[in-house]
Structures are given as structure tokens and as C-alpha cells.
Structure 1
Amino acid sequence: MNILLAIFVADINLTSMHDKLLQYIHSNYHFSQKEIEMVQHYFEPVSFSKNIVIEEAGKVPNYLYYIVSGYLRLFYMDENGNEITTHINCPPGFFTSYSHFISETVSDHNVECVTACELLRITKENLDHLVKQSHAMKDFSISVFQHSIAYNENRSRELSTLNAEQRYLKLLKDYPEIIQHVPIQYIASFLGMKPESLSRIRRKIIN
């Protein structure tokens, strides 16, 4: 499906969307009025329906996304043609194939809207321009990158040290609402197990 056809801009409250990003930033960083206006200028509001791939494998990622609402996943195709989900993000937060976006290299991952999503997006060129003009945005961008590194390190550790049931219980503790919005096969893949294994764990917990 043509990505452009999947974008719908009607009924988007642009001010409200930018306000959510600015509130997220202002929780730890103070932006001047000029910097606020720059953020509003460079972050483009977009909405997508569910099951739309907004960044395709085999290409350099076009955008860094801030999730106002909805769920995104990062996945790749293995040698057998199976979809392997490596990241699921709950709002709010930033999302992309991050290392490839930063280095402007071809990614082997797809970014897909699991649900309908309201997003703010920015190109690498505009992000670099914004960072050069705003010390606060530079500090904030560094913190986002550091958070991404820490998240990946923690996820690798959990996959290697926790058993399947422990990984599922931790996911429910950290993101209790995820099970209501994300299909079970994506959650199972993200947790490193087959859907039937996760179904058995869920039945065991319920019983």
C-alpha cells in the first residue's frame, strides 16, 4: 500500500499533538519560547491507520517518530520468511530503526503501526538543524540516544537471564495495557517465544 495514501490528516489537533511532545521534553529540560516554536515547526504531525508499514526494510529510515498515541513495532524477516518483532513501543516515546536513522544507513527492519497512530515526525536533516540551533534540544537528543542504548542492553540481559514466564510477567508489570492493543503473535515474538508457548503461559497464570 502506498504510504502516502494511508496518511489521514483530518481532525488532527496539531496544537495538542505538539503540546504532548513539549510536555514530555519539559519534564526534564527547559525550552525557550524560540526553541518551542522550532520544535513545532520541525516536527510534522501525521496519522496512520493500523497495519501500515511506515518505514521499509532495505531503505534508509526517513524519520524519527514521537508517538502521541498508538503502538508501533520494529520487525525483520528471517531466512525462513518469518516476521521477528524486536521492539514494541507504547506511547509516549521516540521510535525508529534508531542506529540506521542516526548513521543514515540502510535498515533491515520495518516500522509498522500495530494500531492507528498519531505521530510527530522529523527528518535527520531537520533534527541536525534543530540540534545545532538549540543547546537544550542537543542535550535532550543525547538523553534519548542514551535511553535507547540502555533499553537495548536491558532487553538483551532479560532475554538471556529470564525464563519465558518471567519475561511475560515483567512485560505485563511494565506495560499492563499492551496486551489489550498488540496481537499475541507480536508479543510472543518480541519475548522470544512461539505464540503457542505464550498461550500456555497465559492459561497457567489465569488458572
Structure 2
Amino acid sequence: MEALIDLILQFGHLNKQQIEFLLSKVQTLGFKKDDYLSEAGKVPQYVAFVLEGVFRFCYYNNKGEEITNYFVEEGNFVVDNEKFESQIVASEYVQAVTDCKVLVFTKKDWDDISDTIVGWEMMKANMVKKCLTLAMERRSPLVSEDATTRYLSFIKGFPNLINRIPLSYVASYLGITQQSLSRIRRNIR
């Protein structure tokens, strides 16, 4: 819980009473590897803060191929924010890549926090902005770079993930085949 509060306090001030109120709204959940926090075709139920483990955002393209879009690891929020806030059906999956332990807020509790804590909306907007900026910084090099450079950018952007997640997910995220990824990894060593 301390990691959650430390992160939130980077975006504004909360007094002791507000922190206690916030913590009263959170519950701890566990997700086994391959479980879904959120599924395409369903309305996202939670904003989650990752205590342990790794999640990925993924979807299926028009050829039926699974595409990994993003990873979220410990110390970060994971949510399909737009769909959660609007309470509309998600188009992506948010899947546990490893066994995960998270702190979650339901939509009702998330809204109660907004209705109760003055300034929470601005703090929340700044948290979302930081997450989107980080995502863009990590994804931008993947658009125009060659496969080796994309892999090196991945290692730089997600230094703790390479030995924790299946290489098939890394290859999908990088937009290359698993064979190409193996060849790149061999050539770098």
C-alpha cells in the first residue's frame, strides 16, 4: 500500500485523512498467469496498481493474430482507462503475464474518491498523462527503427522484463517473428 501512496503523492498532496479514505476503497486481488484483468467485449471493472507481476495489453488483428501492445510492471497503474472511465466495452485484453498481486479500485470506489477528495481529478489527470507519456516514449522508437534497434529500445524501456515474459510476447510487441527475435538476440551477445 505504501508504494501506491508514494506514487499518488508524486501528483499532489493528500492529508492523513484523505489517505485513509483512499485506502479504505482499495482491495487486494491476485491474478494467476494468463488470467484477465480486463477482456475485450466486456466493460473494465477495475483500476489496478501492480504490487507484483507483469500485465500486457493485447488484441487480435483482422487476421486473427494476437498482438501485444504494451506491458505494465510493478509500481504502476494498469487499466484500460478510457473504457473504464466511460464504462464502455473494451476492445483489448489486459492479461497477467506472470502471477500478479494488485490493489484494485472498482468504478464506484474510484468515483467516490473523486467526489470526496478535493483535487483528486487533477491528480488523476496528471497520473494518466504520465502513463500516456511513458507509453509513447516506449512505443515511439518501435515505429521507425529496424528490428535490432527496436529490441534494444525494448530492453532500455523495460529493463526488468526480458527474463520474466515469454519471448513470443516480446516479438509480438516488437512486430517481428519469434525466429527474428532469436536471431537478433544471438547477434547481440
Q: TM-score, normalising length from structure 1?
A: 0.84
Partner of 1:167: 150
Gaps of 5+ in 2: none
Q: 1:74 aligns with which of 57, 63, 86?
A: 57
Matches of residues 63-142 of structure 1 in structure 2 within 5 Å? 63-142=46-125
Shift of 1:174: 2.6
Q: Which amino acid aligns with 1:135?
A: V
Partner of 2:15: 32
Q: Secondary structure at the match of 2:162?
A: helix
Cα distance in 2 for residues equivalent to 1:46 and 1:73 = 17
Shift of 1:155: 4.6
Cα distance in 2 for residues equivalent to 1:99 and 1:62 = 12
Q: Secondary structure at the match of 1:178?
A: coil
Gaps of 5+ in 1: 1-17
8 Å CA contact 1:61, 1:100 repeated in 2: yes
Percent of paired sites with the same residue: 30
Q: Which amino acid aligns with 1:116?
A: D
Partner of 2:165: 182
Partner of 1:4: none
8 Å CA contact 1:74, 1:86 repeated in 2: yes
Q: RMSD over aligned Cα, in angstroms?
A: 1.7
Cα distance in 1 for residues equivalent to 2:146 and 2:18 = 45
Cα distance in 2 for residues equivalent to 1:20 and 1:150 = 21
Shift of 1:79: 2.5
Q: Which amino acid aligns with 2:141?
A: E
Q: Which amino acid aligns with 2:63?
A: N
